[in-house]
Amino acid sequence: MKKVKLGVLVSGRGSNLQAIIDNIEEGRLSAEIALVISDQPDAFSLERARKHNIPAVHVSAKGYKGRREEYDALLVKELQKHDVELVCLAGFMRIITPVLLKAFPQRILNIHPALLPSFPGLHVQMAALKHGVKFSGCTVHFVDENMDTGPIIIQAVVPVLDNDTEDSLSARILEQEHKIYSRAIQLYAEGKLRIEGRRVFTSGGGDQNGVLTNP
């Protein structure tokens, strides 16, 4: 099967990047990471990529304040240079612009540590705890022009326990993130994702892309 060429955009520790790398190396994902780009010079993600001989670059956002389109044009250039087909945001702490969206129409994915549309934005595990929800989870979605609003591909649900802290809940969610991001990428690689309006269907039908997990 053809391997889909990924460009992974990161800003930090890169545990989702690592899970994608591991799933590829263990043959669970027909993909190849063509490039990792970080907007932070010292992101641990860059080290992770280089350890696996994956091209990894820092594209500095310095001097691009208020010029996000120009910064995104730099990203597009790098991604195209490496022949990237699918862009995966994995803890990339920047809002992307139409420049990137137009270069990769319906070809940008994001992972979010909550059950969208609940708790978009930042610090969402804490927000979920404070709100008192009994379940939270994570979402892989296509990226559109707004933050955390694009069509949902897969969600995994985890319980919120009485003694949870932000850290314990985040860890439980993260474990699922590491599974469903690769699963969504694999569905893309197999050409199985079909978007109709806000809904994403898995062709062949009947596939269940909501994942319920136990504590």
Q: Which residues bind ligand GRF (CB under 6 A)?
A: 12-16, 90-91, 111-113, 174, 177
| Residue 212 Cβ vs ligand GRF, minimum distance, rounded to whole Å | 19
| Residue 6 Cβ vs ligand GRF, minimum distance, rounded to whole Å | 14
> Which structure tokens are listed for 42?
């010292």
From the list 52, 58, 82, 112, the catalytic residue is 112
Nearer to ligand GRF, 167 or 196 (CB): 167
| Residue 114 Cβ vs ligand GRF, minimum distance, rounded to whole Å | 8
112 included as an active-site residue = yes
Q: Is 87 exposed, middle or buried (0-12, 13-18, 19+ CB in 10 A)?
A: buried
Contact 17, 109 (CB under 8 A): no
Nearest one of 102, 87, 109 to 4, comparing CA atoms:
87
Consecutive H or E run containing 86: strand 86-89
Helix (H) and strand (E) counts in the chain: 6, 10
Nearest one of 192, 213, 174 to 17, comparing CA atoms:
174
Nearer to ligand GRF, 36 or 84 (CB): 36
Residue at shortest CB range from ligand GRF: 91
Nearer to ligand GRF, 15 or 118 (CB): 15
**58: which strand partners?**
38
Nearest one of 40, 16, 62 to 185, comparing CA atoms:
16
Nearer to ligand GRF, 4 or 89 (CB): 89
Contact 120, 40 (CB under 8 A): no
| Residue 21 Cβ vs ligand GRF, minimum distance, rounded to whole Å | 11
Residues involved in catalysis: 112
